[in-house]
Amino acid sequence: MLNRRSFLQKTALLTALLGLKKSLFALPFAGSWRPKAGSSKEEPVVLSTWDFGLAANKEAWRTLESGGSSLDAVESGVKVVEADPSINSVGYGGLPDREGKVTLDACIMDAAGNCGGVCFLEEIMHPVSVARRVMENTPHVLLAGEGAQDFALSEGFRKQNLLTDEARKAWEEWKKERIFKTEINRERHDTIGMVALDKNGKLAGACTTSGLSFKLHGRVGDSPIIGAGLFVDGEVGAATATGLGEAVIKTAGSFLVVELMRHGMSPQDACEEAVKRIVQKQDFGGFQVCFLALNTEGEHGAYSIHPGFTYTLSRGDVHKVLESDSYTKK
Closest contact distance (angstroms) between CB of 189 and ligand SD4 is: 9
**308: exposed, middle or buried (C-beta count within 10 Å: 0-12, 13-18, 19+)?**
middle
Closest contact distance (angstroms) between CB of 155 and ligand SD4 is: 24
Among 205, 243, 253, 267, binds ligand SD4 (CB under 6 A): 243
Element (H, E) at 173: helix 165-177
Q: How, if at all, do strands 45-49 and 104-110 pair? A: unpaired
**150: exposed, middle or buried (C-beta count within 10 Å: 0-12, 13-18, 19+)?**
exposed
Which among 63, 103, 164, 191 is annotated as catalytic? 191
Q: Is 96 in the site for ligand SD4 (CB under 6 A)?
A: no
Among 222, 233, 259, 272, binds ligand SD4 (CB under 6 A): 222
Segment interacting with ligand SD4 (CB under 6 A) among 7-15, 106-114, 141-149, 219-227: 219-227
Among 63, 223, 266, 310, binds ligand SD4 (CB under 6 A): 223
Ramachandran class of 8: left when φ > 0, alpha when ψ lies in -120 to 50, beta otherwise: alpha
Distance from the Cα of residue 15 to its chain's centroid: 44
Closest contact distance (angstroms) between CB of 242 and ligand SD4 is: 6
| N- to C-terminal Cα separation, the chain | 70
Element (H, E) at 106: strand 104-110
Cβ proximity to ligand SD4: between 227 and 245 the closer is 245
Nearest to 224, CA basis, from 321, 131, 147, 138: 131
DSSP state of 189: -
Closest contact distance (angstroms) between CB of 326 and ligand SD4 is: 16
Closest contact distance (angstroms) between CB of 208 and ligand SD4 is: 10
Identify residues 179-218 at the interface with ligand SD4 (CB under 6 A): 190-191, 209, 211-212
Cβ proximity to ligand SD4: between 222 and 272 the closer is 222
Rounded to 10 deg, the angle between the 127-137 and 70-82 helix axes is 150
Closest contact distance (angstroms) between CB of 244 and ligand SD4 is: 6
Cβ proximity to ligand SD4: between 57 and 185 the closer is 185
Number of residues that bind ligand SD4 (CB under 6 A): 12
CA distances from 73 to 57, 117, 272 (A): 8, 17, 27
Active site residue 11: no
Cβ proximity to ligand SD4: between 123 and 222 the closer is 222
Q: Is 127 in the site for ligand SD4 (CB under 6 A)?
A: no
Three-class DSSP category at 240: strand
Q: Is 242 in the site for ligand SD4 (CB under 6 A)?
A: yes
Active-site amino acid positions: 191
Residues that bind ligand SD4 (CB under 6 A): 190-191, 209, 211-212, 221-223, 242-245
